[in-house]
Structure formats: C-alpha cells, structure tokens
A and B are shown apart, each in its own frame.
Chain A
Amino acid sequence: MPVVERSARRWLRSTVAVFLKDWRSELRTRYAISALGMFVVTTLSMIMFSLAGETPSLEVLAGMLWVVIFFAAMSGLSRTFVTEEERGTSMTLQLQAPPSAVYFGKLLFNLVLGAGLTLLTVVLYAVFITGFVVTSYGVFAAAIVLGSIGLSAASTIIAAIIARANTKGTLYPVLSFPILLPVLMTAIRATRMACEGTTWTDAGGEFQVLISYIVVVVTASYMLFEYIWKD
C-alpha cells in the first residue's frame, strides 16, 4: 500500500517539522528555557532558605521535589501554544500541517522541555538538598521518566485549551492541577519508594498506573485536539 505509506511518511515529516520549528524559535529567544531554569533555581533556593539546615523526612522531600517540578512546568510548558496565538501564526500552521501532526510535534517539544526541566531539578535537588538519598536507582529513574512524560502529556492538551481562552497565564495551573493529580500522587509515591529502597516488584503498581495514565491522556488528546485547534 504505497499511498498509505506515503501519507504516513508525509505526516511524520510534518510532525518533525513542527517540532523543529518550535525548537529553533525557542533557541533563538531561549524564553521558555531560561524561564524554566530560573524558576527551578529560585524555588530550590527558597526551599533551602526555609529548611535552614534541617533535614526533613524522605516523604516530605519526595513531595517537595514534585512540587518544584509541577510549578516549574506550569511556568513554561504553555509557551508552545501561547506563542502561536501571540504571534498570530496559528492560522498559517493550520494551513501547513494536519492537526494531529501539530499535536504530536508540540507534544514532542514539551516532552523534551519537560525532560530537561526534570533532569535539571533532580540534579540540583540531589546536589543541594541534604538528606535526599536515593536507594534504588532503577525505580527512581523510572518514576522520574514516567512522571515527566505524564506531566508533559497532560500539560500539552491543557496548554492548547488555555491558548484559546482569554486569560493565558493564570488559569493554566488551575486547569492542569486536577488533571495532573493522578500523575503527581503516583510519582510522589514512587519517588518515596525509590528513596526507601523498594524493589521493582513492589513499585510495579505505581508504574502501571503511570503508563496507563499516559496512554489514556495521549489518546484522548489526539482525538480531541482537532476540535480545539480548528476555528
């Protein structure tokens, strides 16, 4: 079936093109990257000031890590859609690429941005926060990676909604939080388990929840994106 194959290849090409376009324009201004980076740094120093040398329990530390990641994500992950509206380029993009390609291109961009953000947070957190000790590294890595993917997947579709509403900044965390709560709670639990040294088999349930959440959200977003995107 050469026709199907050709259209699939074209779709893939426009997805990658959307991703590369966002990536290049991001590298030109570095708006989201610097906003996210500075957000992580300020929040972490804020936490360090308020801890004042105390070492809280692992439960608190695991929760705080995801608080930083969540709010940092909320400050930067909506950019990819909001800039299209601000620059007035969404019409052009609608003409150039099919909605699903736009969605997956933007999702890819947010996944990369989210991965960078979580990596930065985790590294800084491990270096500067005393008492944050990871025992099972594999479980920890899986919790961070899956949590980051779930966070980016859900924030992408909410960003698409937010970009079309009149208030672009303030509503974003309000709309995202209830949708993201399953991810955050499971990721926090899995992180805590990793710090306490839980084995793969014991933490398996958390990863099943995270993976099914990601599949459900991406599928629903893919099906619904066209309605938000087209005028």
Chain B
Amino acid sequence: MVWRILLGILLTLVIIAAFAFPIVPAPTSLFEFPLIPGLEEKARIIFFHVPTAWLSVMAFFTGMFYGIRYLRKRDIRDDLRSSAAAGLGLMFCILATVTGMIWAKFNWGSFWNWDPRETSIFVLLLIYGAYFALRSAVEVEEKRATLSAVYSIIAAVTVPFFVFIMPRIMTGLHPGAAGDPEGAGPVIEFKMSGGMRMVFFTSLFAFTLLYIWMFTLRVRAALLEYHHQSKG
C-alpha cells in the first residue's frame, strides 16, 4: 500500500517537473532544462515517450520469459502471466507509437517517416497483433498456451535485429542512429543536462514500477477469472 502512494507521488512529481521546469539557454540549477536547437519545448516528450517504448520492449521480454517457463513447467498460470504481459506491452506499444507520431508531425514534418526505430516499433506492434490473433485461433487451453509461447520465443529471437541492431547501424532521425553527430549508441548521454537526466531516470523508474503494479493486478484478475471458470 505504502509503495503505491509513493509511486503516485513520484509520478505526480515527474509530470510536474516534465512540464513546468523552464527551458533556458544556459541552465544553472537542477530545475532548469537546457535549450536544444531544433527541439526547444518539444524536447519534453523524452520523459514520456521513451519510458512507454521501454515498457513495450520490457513487457515483450516478460511475455517471453513466462512463455519459456510455461514450456518447462506446463503450469497454465504462466501462460496467463505471459498473455497479461503481452496485453500491457500492446498498450504501451500503441502509446509509444501514437505519442511519437504526433510529435513527429510537428518536428519532422510527417506522421510517419520509416525511420529505423519507427520500423522497429511497427514490427513490435505487428508481433503483438499476430500473437493475439494466434491466441484467438486456438480453443484448447494447453495448445493455445504452447503455441503462443513458442511464437513469442521465435519472435523474441528475431526481433532484436530490429529493436537493438538496426536503429544503431542505419541512419535515421532518432538520436543514437548511425551518423548522429553525438555518436551512435545508447542515448543516455544525449545532450541532457543533469536536471533533465534526473527527471528522465525518475520517470523511467516510476514507469517501470507502474508497469509492475499493472502487471500484478492483471495477473491477479486473470487468475481469479481462471479459478472461477474452472470451478463453475
């Protein structure tokens, strides 16, 4: 209970900080963000867009983890966990895509540019869609669990090509792509001041906690439903 209240306070602080801290040419305190040419006020998206994209990938690997566990132990509850993670992943994936698209319209000129990172989130969306299509096509519980677990693993071994390798080796619009003057690689060092980095990592941490909370809630609901059905 306590940590949920703390999470609420933390997320409120992140939202206030992300929107209210002024953007100045030369930040002097932790409560000011630097002015980045070409981004200006639009730089604030990083506090919400990146955590949602991060969670959609994390949910994907959580789903794969429980998929592997299901194949090893044949416990149907692991399958429920796997699909709960995939459901959350789909939601965060849509959020990341939509926020990114609106932002891209104003910063890069069009909603969709086939930048490598846009391609990778699109593939992730397709995989989530295919995963749920496959689940709805199989009626027998064990079979559905096995097939969707295998599919999520197959997807997880091929998708890193997109999410982790392609955005780095190809030129693109996102920071961290090849040809970026700041250098290709993780984007942590990207032009952020100390204050910005503080808000960013707090946001990442708070979103991760939020994900864990949502995940446990969904699993509890799914388990209750399962027991209810198997009794009645």
Chain A interface residues (CB < 8 Å from chain B): 154, 157-158, 161, 164-167, 171, 174-175, 177-179, 181-182, 185, 205, 209, 213, 216-217, 220-221, 224, 227-228
Residues of B near A209 (CB, < 8 A) are 161
Residues of A near B54 (CB, < 8 A) are none
**Interface SS majority for chain A:** helix
Distance of A85 Cα from B126 Cα, bound (Å): 27
Q: Is B205 part of the contact surface with A, judged by Cβ < 8 Å?
A: no
Q: Is B146 part of the contact surface with A, judged by Cβ < 8 Å?
A: yes
Distance of A130 Cα from B123 Cα, bound (Å): 33
Top 3 closest A-B pairs, CB basis? Answer: A178-B126, A182-B161, A165-B137
Distance of A178 Cα from B133 Cα, bound (Å): 13
User: Closest residue to B138 on the A side, CB-wise?
Assistant: A165
Residues of A near B161 (CB, < 8 A) are 182, 209, 213
Q: Is the CB of B137 within 8 A of A213?
A: no
Distance of A220 Cα from B68 Cα, bound (Å): 12
A157, A164, A165, A224: residue with the most chain B Cβ atoms closer than 10 Å: A165
Distance of A36 Cα from B16 Cα, bound (Å): 59
From known contacts A161-B147, A174-B133, A182-B162, infer whether A220 and B153 are also in contact, taking CB-CB under 8 Å: yes
Residues of A near B153 (CB, < 8 A) are 220, 224
Residues of B near A224 (CB, < 8 A) are 71, 150, 153-154
From known contacts A164-B138, A165-B137, A171-B134, infer whether A178 and B155 are also in contact, taking CB-CB under 8 Å: yes
Distance of A221 Cα from B129 Cα, bound (Å): 21
Q: Is the CB of A175 within 8 A of B134?
A: yes
User: Closest residue to B72 on the A side, CB-wise?
Assistant: A227
User: Closest residue to A173 on the B side, CB-wise?
Assistant: B130
Residues of A near B130 (CB, < 8 A) are 171, 174-175, 177-178
Q: Is the CB of B133 within 8 A of A164?
A: no
Q: Is the CB of A166 within 8 A of B138?
A: yes
Distance of A164 Cα from B47 Cα, bound (Å): 43
Distance of A4 Cα from B71 Cα, bound (Å): 28
Distance of A165 Cα from B133 Cα, bound (Å): 11
From known contacts A164-B143, A228-B146, infer whether A177 and B134 are also in contact, taking CB-CB under 8 Å: no
